[in-house]
Amino acid sequence: MFLWPLMVNNISRQDLDEVIEYLRQDDPKLTHGPKVREFESAWSEWLGVKYSVMVNSGASANELTMLALKELRGSGEVIVPPLTWVSDVASVIHAGLEPVFVDVNMRNLSFDLEKLEKAISPKTRAIFITHVLGINGLTKELIELSEKFSIPIIEDVCESHGATYQGRKLGSLGLASNFSFYYAHHMTTIEGGMISTNDPKIYDYVRMMRSHGMVRESQLDDTKSTYKQSYPDLNPDFIFAFAAYNMRPTELNGILGISQLKRLDSNVLKRTKNFDIFLKNLDSQIFFTDMEFEGSSNYAFPIVLHKSHSHLSPNVEHILSSNGIEFRRGLSGGGNQIRQPYLKNIGLELDMSDFSEVDHLHFNSWYVGNYPDLESNQIVSLCNLLNKLNLI
């Protein structure tokens, strides 16, 4: 049992009571239905987009978004960061697209834009950005690159619910965006995810792909009529346009989402306040604290050493573990994805010297949980412990 876990109290008594009340009905519908649709609508309104499709996990959201991207833009390459969750890269591979890795920068943990521009080619189909640990990764320059080369941005916002860029919520600016409602994230439906977009074709594709590729899930009359006319030998209820998946959520996931969304904004404010306290109290001579703060919706506190120190890194972990503080090394996804065996198993070998920033983070960074129940004195105490690192 950790004194300071990565997450606590992310499902409230009120959330559970909402589920229990629903289950008290004589014949409650449990598979996805009206409650899921209600949550999708509420989420779209909160985010500021036209369409949202709930799925059973953030990883599933990644999978369907990449499949829809391929249907829309064809085969090719997708630029991805090496600092991300495995499912972002895996979804590119599963869709038959090729991941092209570009190193990150330390301030917002997003792409090194100079390297990104060099990585763009005629085969580039999308820039798949990850907003890491609640820090906004979008910049004016990145958006200009996207527009200059007519390459859409796909946003992974799984760790950054409520973060903003110039007043607009992350997830509302790209061609499509993916969210996770895993227990440890800003809000939870136990397991669950969301795909959001303003593009009607993306919306229609992912709706069908969520349910085995069934045409009856389409919201476009033209799509339904075209398939019915093209396949008169098939039952209209069972025409499968894609070799897709079953990634549907349940009504219980939808109920939890509706309940949790009501307090998401207030929780984001608390997390942002906590992050401010953390950065201001951490010793900037030892740790990198010059991180992009504007628009942040911090998911977890990043602890990043300025320089690689073979003796300091173990001491950070000793301080945290000996004080009952749960942590993860490497920031998002365990650090540098390029070092992972799943990429080596498909024959991807890259020159690690091209990824010096993410490799530094891989060996010299950690995160600890940030959640609304934290008191400011707890955060200051954590910083005081870490600031004694050079004295050990």
Q: What is the mean pLDDT of residues 153-170?
A: 98
Residue 128, beta-bridge partner list: 154
* Domains and their CATH numbers in the chain: 13-261 (3.40.640.10), 265-391 (3.90.1150.10)
End-to-end CA distance of the chain: 25
Residue 4, beta-bridge partner list: 325
Q: How many Cα atoms are found within 13 Å in the side-chain-facing hemisphere of 145? A: 21
Residues 44-67 have pLDDT tens digits of 999 999 999 999 999 999 999 999
Report the distance separating Cα 267 and Cα 257, nearest Å. Answer: 14
Q: What is the pLDDT of residue 4?
A: 93
Residues 61-97 have pLDDT tens digits of 999 999 999 999 999 999 999 999 999 999 999 999 9
Taking the CA atoms of the chain, what radius of gyration do you get in angstroms?
Answer: 22
Q: What is the mean pLDDT of residues 233-256?
A: 97
Q: Which residue is listed with tokens 């599933």?
A: 60
> What residues contact 151, with CB distance under 8 A and at least 6 apart?
120, 124, 125, 126, 127, 145
Sheet holding 193-197, edge to edge: 51-55, 193-197, 176-180, 153-156, 124-130, 77-80, 98-101
Residues 196-205 have pLDDT tens digits of 999 999 999 9
Residue 267 vs residues 261, 281, 331: alpha-carbon distances, Å: 10, 21, 22
Our CA dihedral for 196, 200, 203, 204, rounded to 10 degrees, sits at 170
Write down the pTM of the prediction: 0.96
Q: What is the pLDDT of residue 311?
A: 73
Q: Give the confidence band of 307 by pLDDT, cuts at 50, 70, 90.
A: confident
> What residues contact 172, with CB distance under 8 A and at least 6 apart?
47, 48, 49, 196, 198
